[in-house]
Amino acid sequence: MMNRYKSVPVTLLFLFFATAAVLAQSNSGETTFRSNCAMCHGIDGSGNTPAGEHFGAPDFRGVKVKGLTDVQIKQVIADGRKTMPAYGKRLSADQIKELVQYIRELQK
């Protein structure tokens, strides 16, 4: 009998963390972008940051990046490009896919 009651707080704790994980996931493209890309590309994708100007980061909303296919964008993120670092080893395929979706949101 005692054991049944003891498990209630554990269940509540589990639900709490499960909910937090789902909430974090719904926005993960943006979160990944903010922590890995925004220092160069800017949170709006404009490239208007000191590092972005120094390295020559393009505006995601410009014709060139808009014209790239999802596959091409994934490749750039995974393999890097000139002064842009490669993320293929640091980010999962799912995270890279979410980044592409996030970039498409910025381009709207």
- Site for ligand HEC, rule CB under 6 A: 36-37, 39-41, 51, 55-58, 64-65, 68, 73, 76-77, 81-85, 87, 99, 103
Q: Which residues contact 45 (CB under 8 A, 6 or more apart)?
A: 59, 60, 61, 103, 106, 107
Query: Could you tell me which residues are beta bridge partners of residue 81?
Result: 84
Nearer to ligand HEC, 16 or 70 (CB): 70
Tell the smallest beta-carbon distance from residue 52 to ligand HEC (Å).
7
Distance CA 71, CA 87 (A): 15
Tell the smallest beta-carbon distance from residue 25 to ligand HEC (Å).
18
Beta-carbon count within 10 A of 100 CB: 19
Amino acid of residue 28: S
Distance CA 7, CA 65 (A): 53
Tell the smallest beta-carbon distance from residue 26 to ligand HEC (Å).
19
Nearer to ligand HEC, 46 or 55 (CB): 55
Nearer to ligand HEC, 16 or 34 (CB): 34
Nearer to ligand HEC, 39 or 46 (CB): 39
